[in-house]
Amino acid sequence: MKSNLFYLVVSVLFAGFLTLGFQCGSPDFTGAKVQEQNKNYVEAVKLYEREVQKNPANHEAWFRLGRLRGEQLGDYKGMMDAFQEAEKLSPTYTLEIRAWRYKFWAQHINNGVSFVKRAGTDSVQFFDDAIKEYNTAASIWPDTAITYLYLAAAYKGKGDYDNLILSQKKAWNYGRDKEQYKQVGKYLVSKGLEKKDQFKTENADKLKLQKNMNETDKGSYKSDVMRSFGAPDNQKKDKKNPKREDWVYNQYGMTLTIENEKVVAKKIDKPYDYKIDSTKYYEAVEEFNKAVDVFEEIKALNPKDNENLNLLLQAYYEAGRVKEATVTFKLAVDNDPGNKMNHYILGLLYRTVEDYDGAIAEFKKAVEIDPSFSDAIFDIGATLYNWGVKMKKAAQEKGDESTEFKNKFKEALPWIEKVVELKTAKGHDAAAKSGKEWHAELTSEDARIWDTVGTIYALLGQAEKAVKALDEADQIRKAGK
C-alpha cells in the first residue's frame, strides 16, 4: 500500500514539474508562435514585441520578431534592430540572421538592377526606383562597398553627381578600392572646371579687359593697343619728339607713351575696378580642394601610383596650391626618374614658386633624357632670364648700380640660341624631305623665342643682334605662322 502511494505521489509531482516547465514559456511567446503558424503575422509581431518588452533576454523572441518584420512586413530597420538584440544575447541564431540579411539584401540589389535596365532617357524615374531599392539594400547590409557602388551608378544615370560622390566615398570607406575612389576625385575636378568655366563665361568681357590691361606694357604694338582699348580719350604729342605721344585712357586711369608704333612707357594713375564676380571661382576652388583630399587619401594608401599623383597635381594646381603640388609631384619624379615630362613639369612648378635653381636642375634632367627637348631647353634660358629680371628689379629698388644680373642674361643666351638652332635644323630637314623651300619651324607662339633672344641681346648691349632678332619675331607674327 505504501509502495503504491509512493509511486502515485512521484507521478503527481513529475506531472507538476512538466506543467511548470511549460508555463515558463510566457503566454505572449507561446501565442506569438501559434499566430505565426496560423500566418497571422501582424498579430504574431505584436505578441513578440510584447514578449521582448516583458522578457528582453529572450533571444529567440528577438530573432523571430526580426525575421517576421523583414520577411512579412518589409520593416528592415525593425528587422535589423531585433537581429542586433538577438546577437547581443546569444550567437545561437547568428548564421540564420546572416542568411536572412543576405537574402533580403540580394533581393533588393536585384530589384535595383532590374530598374536600371529599364531606365533610359524617356524613363528616368526608374533610376529613382533603383536608388530606393539600393538604399533599402544598404540599410540591410550597411557595411559592404558594392551596395554603394550600385548606388553611385544609379545616381550617375540620373545625373545626380552630388549623391554619386557621397556614395563613392562610402564605398571607399568600406572597400578601399582606389580605382573606384579616383572617380570621386575626377568628378570633383570636373565640377570645379565646370564652375571655373561658368566664372569665365559670366565675366568674359571683364576678364578680357583685365588681361589686356596687364599685358599692355613696354613693347606692345600700337595696333594691339587700339584693338584692346579703342581710340584714346586724349592724345598728347611730345613737342621735342614728333614720333612720341601719350595716349590717355581716362576710364582706366592709364597713360601709354607710344613711340615708333610701340609702347615705351605705361602709367596707372589709380587701380581700375573690374567688378568681377568671383562667386563661381571660389566655388570651383572648393571643389578642387575636395579633390585634393580624395587624391591625398589614395596617395597615403599607395604613394607610387603615378596616375593618382598626376591627378593630385592637377587638383593642387587648380586650387592655387602650387607649393604643395611641387612637394607632391616630386614623388612622381622619384617614382619614374626616366620620364622627361615629369622632370619638365616639376621644373615649371619650381619656377612658379621662384625656386630658380630647382627649376633649372629639373629642366636640365629633362634635356639629359632627350637632348632635342626644345621646350625644356627654352625654359632653362627663360628661367635664367626671369631670374636676371628679378635681380635687376631688386637692385633698382635698392638704388644698387650692380650689374650682376647681366650674368644671368649671359647664361640664358646660349640656351635660347640652342632652341633657334634646333628649330632651324628641323626646318632644313623638312625642306630636304619635301623638296620645298626651307623655312624655320616657328609659329606665332614661337615668336616669343626671338623676342626673348632680342631682349637679352639688347640688355647685353648687342644692339645689332637685338634688332635682327626682334625683326624676325615681327616677321613671324605678320606672316601669321
Q: Looking at residues 9-35, what average pLDDT do you find?
A: 59
Indicate whether 481 pLDDT > 60.
no
Q: What is the three-state SS of 193-216?
A: HHHHHHHHHHCHHHHHHHHHHHHC
Would you say residue 127 has pLDDT above 80?
A: yes
| pLDDT surpassing 70 at residue 430 | no
254-259 and 234-237 beta bridge pairing: unpaired
**C-alpha grid cell for residue 383?**
628661367
Q: Which of 72, 92, 112 is the last residue of a domain?
A: 92
In this prediction, residue 25 carries a pLDDT of 63
Whether residue 5 is contained in a domain is answered as no
Q: What is the pLDDT of residue 359?
A: 95
Residue 463 lies in a domain: yes
Single-letter code of the amino acid located at 10: V
Enter the pTM of the model: 0.73
The answer to whether the CB of 456 falls within 8 A of the CB of 384 is no
Phi and psi based region of residue 241 (left: phi greater than 0; alpha: psi -120 to 50; beta: remaining): beta
- Is residue 349 included in any domain, yes or no? no
State the total domains in the chain.
Answer: 3
Rg of the chain in Å (alpha carbons) = 39
Domain presence at residue 98: no
Is 283 among the domain residues? Answer: no
Query: Would you say residue 3 has pLDDT above 60?
Result: no
Whichever domain contains 84, its CATH number is: 1.25.40.10
> At which of 268, 284, 316 does a domain end?
268
Is pLDDT of 328 > 90?
no
pLDDT digits (tens, 9 = 90+) for 252-276: 999 999 998 889 999 999 899 999 9
CA dihedral 47, 50, 55, 56 (to 10 degrees): 110
For the chain, what is the mean pLDDT? 87
- What is the domain range of residue 437? 369-479
Assess if residue 470 is contained within a domain.
Answer: yes
Q: Give me the residues paired with residue 246 across strands.
A: 236, 257
Burial class (CB in 10 A: 0-12, 13-18, 19+), 273: exposed
**Residues for the chain: how many in total?**
481
The per-residue pLDDT for 474 is 77
- Select from 283, 323, 291, 327 the least CA-distant residue to 308: 291
Last residue of a domain, one of 268, 286, 312: 268
| Residue 169 to residue 181: CA distance in whole angstroms | 7
Mean pLDDT of 149-161: 94
pLDDT of residue 121: 63
Quote the Cα angle for 222-228-230, to 5°. 80
pLDDT, residue 211, reads 93
DSSP per residue, 374-409: HHHHHHHHHHHHHHHHHHHHHHHHHT----THHHHH
In tens, the pLDDT along 380-412 reads: 999 999 999 889 888 877 777 778 888 998 999
